[in-house]
Amino acid sequence: MTNLLTPTKETASANSTLGAALDRIDGPKKVTGAATYAYEHAVEHVTYAFPVQSTIAKGRIAAIDARAALALPGVLAVLSHENAPRLVATDGAEMAIFQSDAVAYHGQFVAAVVAETIETARQAAQLVTVHYEQQPHEAVLRAESADLYKPDHVNPFYETDTESGDIETALAQAAVTLDQTYTTPAEHNNPLEPHTTLAVWSDDGAHLTLYDANQGAYRIRDTVAQAFGLAPEQVRVISPYIGGAFGSKARVHPQVVLAVMAAQMVRRPAKVALTRQQMFSVAGYRTPTIQRIRLAAGADGKLTAIAHDVIEQTATIQEFAEQTALATRMMYAAPNRRTTHRLARLDMPVPAFMRAPGECPGMFALESAMDEMALACGLDPIEFRLRNEPQLDPETGRPFSTRGLVACLQEGARRFGWQQRDPRPGLRRDGRWLVGTGVAASTYPARRRPSSARVRVESDGRYTVAIAAADLGTGAWTALTQIAADALDVPLARVHLEIGDTALPAAQIAGGSMGTTSWGAAIVEAAQALRKRLHEEYHDIVPAAGLEATAETGDNPAAQQFAMHAYGAQFAEVRVNRDTGEVRVPRLLGVFAVGRIINAKTARSQLLGGMTMGLSMALHEESVLDPQFGDYVTHDFASYHIATNADVGAVEVAWIDEDDRHVSPMGAKGIGEIGIVGTAAAIANAVYHATGIRVRDLPITLDKLLPMLS
C-alpha cells in the first residue's frame, strides 16, 4: 500500500508532479466537444429569452407596445416592468431589471421576449416598441468636473486615500521633479464564451438550478437566492467549464436575472446568451482613468515624494470604485507619499472587474512616470528602480514575505541584452523603422481567502477531491489535481477532481489571482487530514471506500504579519514606421517572481496571455464613446480592436525560483493577472526610446505619433 504518512517539508512527495509541464487534464474533452458549457446543457422543453435594450441614456419608459411581438407564432411572453416578478433584494441596482420604469444607461434591459426558439425570440424583440421620456444625460469623464466625489473605499475594501509626510514641501525642495497626467480609456472584457445562463425551476417552484458561466458558483448562488427570496440551499449553480472571463463573470449581471425571471414566467427552463454586441452594454468594463503622478527626487536619484491622484467613473445606479493607485502605495520607497481616488457618477453602465483591476491602469501611469523620472535624473531606468527599492512595505511597515522585483529586473536585463542599450532616444534605425526598447515593473497582491475541500477514498483506490472551484480556462482542472496528488502522495491518475458546482464544498471565486492559493490550501489541508485518519485507523490495511475528510480554511494569518505580493519585469522592443506611425512589437520578455510554479505549461500560458493582453492594451484596445447617445459605439471585433497573431512577435516568459509558504502551503502565488500589469508601460517606454515621443494617453495609435514623426 502507498505510504500515507504526511511528508515533511524536507521530504518531497515521491509522486509529486508540482512544477512539471503537464498537459491539461480537461484538454481532450474541450477539443472533442465533450466539455459541456452553460449554454450546451440539455434540458427538456427549453425556451429562449432575448432582451430589448434601451436606446436612450437617461429617462423613463412612457409606454411599451408588445402586441406585434406577442402575435408572432412561438412567442410565449414579453417581460417588462409592467409584469415582471418583483425582486426581494439585490446587491446592486444593475441586476434589478424590470423593477421600475427608470432608464439609467444606454443598453439597459427594458423588456425581453421569451419564445420557443432563439430565432423567434430575437425577431420578436425587434417588434417590441418602447416609448421614452428622455432626460439630459452626462457620459463623459472630465478631470475638471465639479461633481467628483470621494467614495467610502475602493475595491474591494481598501482605503480611498492614503497620505504620510509632506508632499508639497518635498516637491518644492527636490532637485528633480515630475508632474504628468496619464490617461487610459474604457476597455471591455471579451472572453471567448459569452455570458450565458440556463435557468431551471423545479415543478413546485421551490428549487432553482442554474447552469451559468461564472467565476464563482457560490457567489452567484447567494446573490440570486437573495434576489428571489430563496434560501441559499434552494439554489444550485453548476459551472464546470468556463470559456474565459477576465473578471467579467465574477458577479451577477442582468442576463442571469433575466433567465431566472423568464423561466419563472413561462414555467419552463429558459436560456439567455448575450450576443457579442450586448456584452458591451451589460457585462462590465474597465473604467477610463485620469491619473496625475507627481514624483520628487534628490540629486542621488532617490525618491523623496510620490503622489498619485486618480479620477475615474462609476454609474449613477451603482458604485464601482477601482483601486487604481493601490500599487503605488507599496511599490517604491519614499518618505512622503499620497494616493487619492475620486469618482464621477455618469449615466453609463456599471464598470466592473477586468484583468488586474487597479494595478493594470495604475501601473501604466506609475511605470511611465518612473521611466520619465529616470531620464530626468540621468539614470538608467533599471538602476533608478533599484535605487528606490524599499526594505519594508512603505504602506504598512511590514516585511515582505518575499520580494523578487530586483531579481526579475536583473535577470530580465541579462536575458534581454539591456546592457548594450544606448539610452538616447531616436537613434536606432532600420530603414524607415525607428527601433527602441523599454522596461517596466509589475506587481500584484498575493492573496488567499477561505475555502473548503473534501477528499474521499473510492472503492477502486482512487481519491475524489471535491471543491466548488472554477476553471476559466486557466488550468485549474490540472493544477488542483497536481496539488491533490502531491498532498496525498499518489500518482496523478489516482486523483479524480470535481469542481464548479454548489453541491460541492464552498470555494473562493476565481479572481484576484487567489484561486489556486485559496483552493490549493484547502485541498492540502483536507488531504493531510485524510492521511492522518488513514494512518491512525487503518495502518497498512486497505481502507474501506467512503472514508473522507473535509477541511475549511480561514483567513491567512500571515497576511497580518507580511506584505505579500508577486512581482515581475517586462521588457519590450518596438519598431515605429517613420512614414505611417505603425507600431510593431517584435519582442517581449517577462520575468516573474510568483512563488512556486504548480504547472510550468499552464503557468507559461497564463503569463504569456497576460502579456499579450497588455500589448493589446498598449496599441489597440479602446471603447469609443459617443457622448450624444451615451453609448460605446465599438460593439464588435470589427471596431473594438484586440491583438491578433499578426500583432504579436516573440514573447518569452521566465520566472525566478521562489517558494513562499507564507502565502500558501504549496509555496505558490497567483499568476492570472500579473502578466498584463506593466506590459503597456514597457511598450510605451520603448516607443519613447524609439521616437523621442512620449505617449501618455493609451492606446498608442497612429494619430498620436504621426504629427511628431519626421
Catalytically annotated residues: 673
CA 610 to chain centre: 10
Contact by Cβ (8 Å): 393, 333:
no
DSSP secondary structure of 229-267: T--GGGEEEE-S-----TTTTSS--HHHHHHHHHHHHHT
Give all strands (DSSP E) within 491-582, no chain letters.
495-498, 548-552, 565-577
Nearest Cα to Cα of residue 370 among 388, 345, 397, 353: 388
Distance CA 80, CA 669 (A): 46
- Supply angle C-alpha 260, 264, 265, rounded to 5: 120
Cell of 28: 481532450
Contact by Cβ (8 Å): 196, 223:
no
Cell of 96: 434589478
* Amino acid code (one letter) for 31: V
Cell of 445: 497582491
CA distances from residue 423 to 133, 165, 417 in whole angstroms, order as listed: 59, 33, 13
3-state secondary structure of 290: strand
DSSP tag of 326: T
Residue pointed to by grid coordinates 476553471: 471
3-state secondary structure of 639: coil
Peptide bond into 699 cis (omega under 30): yes
The torsion angles phi and psi of 593, rounded to 5 degrees, stand at -120, 95
Contact by Cβ (8 Å): 276, 636:
yes
DSSP secondary structure of 387-449: HT--SS-TTT-PPBS---HHHHHHHHHHHHTGGG---STT-EEETTEEEEEEEEEEEEE----
Distance CA 278, CA 194 (A): 9
CA 31 to chain centre: 25
Angle between helix 254-266 and 217-227 (nearest 10): 50
DSSP secondary structure of 618-629: HHT----EETTT
> Within 13 Å of residue 453, how many CA atoms lie on the same side as its CB?
33
Per DSSP bridges, beta strands 208-212 and 196-201 are antiparallel
Contact by Cβ (8 Å): 109, 64:
no
611 conformational bin, left if phi > 0, alpha if psi -120 to 50, beta if neither: alpha
